Structure 1
Amino acid sequence: MFGDMMGMMNKIKETQAKVEETKKRLDTVTLEEKSSDDLLKITLTANREIKAIEVADELLQDKEQLEDYLVLTLNKAIKKATDVHEAELGAVAKEGMPSIPGMDAFK
């Protein structure tokens, strides 16, 4: 019993280390999102850190239109990055979970 508990604790520590490694790796994964007409492009990491924003000159003529483009495109970019982030961390967490009797019913 005590050995099983120690094994589970070690497995949890290993998983925590893998999660931290995955978070660091996600800093290097870049994603792009563009407006439907390619006038605005957002580049960000899978950890949702914005790296670049490219704006077409014609958007600079209309402040309200630029603001609308920024809101829409940033929201799509953040959603895309969040989906990648959650999928990667979820996979690591699921892989590292110790086998606990009776927990299979919740999968």
Structure 2
Amino acid sequence: MFGDFMGMMGKLKETQQKVQETKERLNTVMVDEQSADGLLRVILTANREIKSIAIDGSLLQDKEQLEDYLILTLNKAIDKATKVNETELAAVAKEGMPNIPGLDSFMK
């Protein structure tokens, strides 16, 4: 009984390490999003850290339009990055879960 428990604890510790490594790797995964007309481009990491924003000069003439572009494009980029982040971390976490009978049907 304690052997199984110790094995599970070891597996959980290993999974925590893999999750941390995945979070660090996601700092290097870039998500690129741009407005439909290409006038605004945002690049951020899968951990949702903004790396660059490129703004076409024509958007600088209208403050409200630029603000709208930023909000829409940033939200789309953040959504994309969140999906990548959650998918990657869920895969690592699932891989590291102990084999508990019935858990798969419960998790669905």
Question: Aligned equivalents of 1:100 and 1:55: distance in 2?
Answer: 51
Percent sequence identity over matched residues? 71
Separation in 2, partners of 1:65, 1:12: 49
**Equivalent position SS for 2:54:** strand
Unaligned segments of structure 1, at least 5 residues: none
Question: TM-score under structure 1 normalisation?
Answer: 0.97
TM-score for both structures, normalised by structure 2: 0.96
Q: What is the deviation of 1:28?
A: 0.5
**Which residue in 2 is equivalent to 1:60?**
60
Q: How many residues align?
A: 107
Residue number in structure 2 paired with 1:91: 91
Query: Is there any run of 5+ residues in structure 2 with no aligned partner, and where?
Result: none
For residues 72 and 54 of structure 1, the distance between their equivalents in structure 2, rounded to whole angstroms, comes to: 14
Q: Counterparts of 1:1-107 in structure 2 under 5 Å?
A: 1-106=1-106, 107=108
* Stretches (4+) displaced over 3 A: none
The CA RMSD measured in Å over matched residues stands at: 0.7
Letter in 2 for 1:23: K
C-alpha distance in structure 2 between counterparts of 1:98 and 1:23, whole Å: 21
